[in-house]
A and B are shown apart, each in its own frame.
Chain A
Amino acid sequence: MLTGSVRRQVRQAVPAWIILVAIILLSSLFSSSFRTIGNIRNFVTQSVVLALVAIAQANVLFIGGIDMSVSSVISISTIFVALFSYDSTLGLVGSIALALAVGALTGLVNGIGVVRFRIPAMIITISTQAFLKGVALILMPSSGGRVNIAFSSFMRNRVGIFTYAAIITFILYVIFYVMYHYTTFGRRMYAVGNSPLYAAQSGVPVERTTVITYVVSGLVAAFAGIVLSTRISTGNPLVGDSYAMDSVAAAVVGGVSMNGGVGSVVGALAGAVIMTLINNVINQFGISPYYQYITKGLVLVLSLLIFQLRRRRSV
């Protein structure tokens, strides 16, 4: 299965998986509360949303972009679901469709901004992030609304330690893994991330690939928001805020290059779980949760630095 560049891309994820396993083993060894089935279950549930956002983020990182707007897309999705889904099935389907449509639209704006107006990805996605946050605050100035109970309890159903949400996330990972490595579209994405210029010379439709990639990211981020809403049962205009940074950190820790064209979604999964685990472990050991910020910031800087230094040496 791992032929050609796929092997190379997937190999980028190996360090993250080793670190992940190491953290789990060490934590289980030293914390009796960590290794309880309750905590592990809890932890799987916690990981789901970031794992989904990590797909969205890795997606744009592969083509050499970045998407900061995922945070506001998540928030606004929880709001749509909380506002419209409570009463009826029709409302539920409608609210989900609305959330996905807004996610896709945001991606479209980002993609067009990058391709047509040549705005740096960081800047255009920060703008759409701010704008959507404004819209979210107008729709719902503070946490509120109610999420369809049938829907949220459905997503919380478990098979073993895995909720349905976790299982859907896992299926999405498989789908994206196949898309990146075994379809023509995935190949185009990696080519664009490697070098838009050379990709264009080789006949890759760079602009179209870029726009579609941002739209897909917007969709996945919206889906992450929908899943989050079933967990918190309400809508919240600020609940997505931390996910922009966390998803970048998750992807980078998972071996996805900020320069595009390198890495695999397999690594993003490990990265997302590691980032969640850091929070969980900090809680389990009774360390002040405020250290989470510093830890995450340091993890991000260090993994970027390591990546940069490794790249330098190979040049």
Chain B
Amino acid sequence: MKSPLKLKRNPYSKFPLGVYLLLVAVIVVFFVATQGRISPSHLMNIVRQAAPTGIAAIGQTIALLVAGLDLSVGATMSMVNLVSASIMMGNPGNILPAVLVSLSLCAVIGLVNGYIIAHFKMQPFLVTMAMSMIIEGGYFIYTKGIARGDVPSSFRVISDGWIGFIPVAGIIWVAIWAALSFTLRKTVYGRKLYLTGANPTAARISGIRSEGMIVSAYLICSLLAGVGGLMLTAYIGTASTGVGNDYTLDTIASSVIGGTAFSGGIGTLEGTFPGVLIMTMLQSLMTILGISTAGKFLTQGIVIAVMVAINQMRQGNRN
């Protein structure tokens, strides 16, 4: 047991400096691997590319904070891609209905996930995994197996637009991140979320409606997966079946790099942000090595296993 006198600060209010150092290290590796042929505009392109994951990862972190897990993030993103593209059909006038329909579907998914998990006390991974199967089935039936739709260029601006040097996608990502980061740190809701996640029983005894908090976390998670799906649609510019599916593990990996624990109540969005960039850069490195698809899975697997093992050991040392 460590000395109780030593000041132990709250991992949640602490700025996750280590992750940013790791990010710098990864950038250096990236720089060396590309033999210095990397410019700031390359980096900005990586930000643009990372935005869909980044937004969905914010939601995943919030689900993890209530000791949950959302494995339906990827399927949700795929669904939003197919649904929104098929509604837009290249017509800028249809953008609004496409967005509204997509996000409403996401809201339903989130509410169902949250309700089943909170009310019936079922394991989150099973519920969300089953949900992911149902979503996949749903969009297959909707598209009859053929992805249709056309993304108008006025919608693609949210991904490939630039304001001077800064990509629009980056601005949207940072704006959402800042808003939720503020919510988690500075609002009553954020506090209650952490309290519920870290100890739902104690939270309930302190009068917090834990069930509602958990449902809201899954709702936010699904909605952000939906926004991520829209960003992804704008990024690739077409409808493509199953395009979001591999994002689930990316969002989890990004969260755990950023120090979010599976036990709930521990983690920050300030950590998830560089976590996403690290994951994206590692995968870009894999592409440089010529193993882009395989590399994606390799990095996901190694990063999750190693980071969780490290987190668990650190927590184990505390007790």
Contacts and interface: CB of A to CB of B under 8 A. Distances in A.
B262 A120 contact: yes
Name which of B69, B132, B133, B308 has the most chain A CB atoms within 10 A of its CB. Answer: B133
Contacts of A296: 133, 137
A42 interface: no
Given A297-B130, A305-B120, A127 B312 contact: no
B123 interface: yes
A135 B294 CA distance: 7
Interface stretch (A145-153, A200-208, A286-294): A286-294
A138 interface: yes
Given A119-B305, A128-B305, A245-B129, A288 B144 contact: yes
Contacts of A277: none
B145 A290 contact: yes
Per DSSP, chain A at the interface is helix
Contacts of B141: 288, 290-291, 294
Nearest to B142: A290
A124 B144 contact: no
Nearest to B123: A258
A304 interface: yes
Interface string B120-163: 11110111011111101110110011000000000000000000
Contacts of A123: 262, 304-305, 308
Contacts of A294: 133-134, 137-138, 141
A300 B130 contact: yes
Interface string A108-142: 00000100011110111011111111111110010
What band does the interface of chain B fall in when counting residues whose beta carbon is under 8 Å from A?
A: 35 or more
A296 B135 CA distance: 11
Interface string B39-68: 000000000000000000000000000000
Contacts of A131: 297-298, 300-302, 305
Interface in A191-217: none
A118 B317 CA distance: 12
B6 to A, nearest CB: 24
Interface of B: 69, 116, 120-123, 125-127, 129-134, 136-138, 140-141, 144-145, 249, 252, 262, 291, 293-302, 304-305, 308-309, 312-313, 316
